[in-house]
Structure 1
Amino acid sequence: MPSSDSPTIVLVHGAFADASSFALLIPELTERGFDVVAPAVPNRSLIGDAAYIASVVRSIAGPVILVGHSYGGAVITVAGEEENVKGLVYLAGYALQEGESLGELQGRFPDSDLASALVYTPFPVEGSDEPGTDVSVVPESFPAVFAHDVDPGLAKILAVSQRPLAAQAFAEAAPVAAWKTKPSWGLVATADHTINPEVERYGYRRAGMSVVEVDSSHLVMLSHPADVADLVEKAVHSIG
């Protein structure tokens, strides 16, 4: 069981999702005695999103472990510089190098099925005459690309309740890479059709992470919540 000074687990969701993507992982963690926070990431820009998550981390008294799924991995790579962050856990995520963008990391490898399933929609930007661009997944393609091993009814709900990612986030370079100074763990979803699993492996290997592989879709925390909770618990015990 966790000790009284056990870290708070902060769950950082990715693109095309929201904090409800952790709906099955949260009870796994709370039943093991962990305090959990699952904030809503704005999904507007890497720098802005990381700043928001960093503010959440600063509001927590005591140590924190950041768990980032997908794009959330890029966010925790930057936000993880906060002093009370004691570890990073990447779930089918982007582990960026300092000075590297999502587009640059992803561009080193063949496209996944996601590339042909994206739709681009303009949105108004306050104080600017130029619109931004939201990126989302064609709802009809979402279950196969994102969630082929998730309950089909739930996958359909997720498809129509996406939280888009602003295109700007793909191009912004990470100003820091917290994995250089914080212990890190990575989970590869080997049946991932959203991120090429080789992107995950490459980033984790480069960072020298402890890695596990799970035969899962991109939404590993919904299809294999116990496996994810095991990895988080391992991280907690390792920093203990």
Structure 2
Amino acid sequence: MATQHVAPALGLLVHAVERDRDARRSDGLRIGRTSFDILGTMPIAEVDLEVRVLRPGRTIELVEATLAHGGRPVVVLRAWLLEPRATAGIAGTGLAPLPDPEAMEPWDPTTVWPGGFIASIELRRAAVAPGRGAFWARTPLALVDDEPVSPVARAAGLWDVSNGMVVRSDPTAVAFPNVDLTAHLVREPVLEDGWVGFDTTQTFGEDGLGLTSSVLHDAAGPLGTSAQVLTVRPTAATSVG
């Protein structure tokens, strides 16, 4: 069966959580954390979505959403939803903002990665070194046709690309797929012109584990962080040592 990039599926799961929330309550709990476990490859086929509340509450909820194909779970999301409060007077961060997208050079990700989803992304990148750099990404494609989609869900549909845009090693010599993605947010994204920003570091350990960590950005500045654990797999022809 043909497979596709998992990134849009992550956005779809966030959208399902928000749609379920809005059907159950009207107080607008904010998504503070999304933790995705990627259990298999993402098929190009019809999928089933199921949402359930694991920990109900008046001001805090833990919600689980599962995307499955043919009865097999493909991605599971657990999201913490938190009550919004008026904290603008004490808001602040020590995280540095990214330069605007216009300050970075356009970069074609299909020079490294194949696939229609990757080809749909517009990238502007400032690579500092192998495994280190910053970039902005956006796509003109709608996450869901003919249905309003929140900025959180739209941004979540791009988060997974962070593992492939400032690579530490040639992907033809070393495979490094991520098996999860966890993002923490401190506010709703502001997607001016659709851009989502990443200040990303990729680390390979000495025994087959790796980590891609990013500070997430939007038009208003830093908005959270993400992390992906990697299984680092050199090809048989790759010399390691």
TM-score (norm 1): 0.26
- Higher-helix-fraction structure: 1
More strand by share: 2
TM-score by length of 2: 0.26
Higher RCO (CA-CA < 8 Å; seq separation 6+)? 1
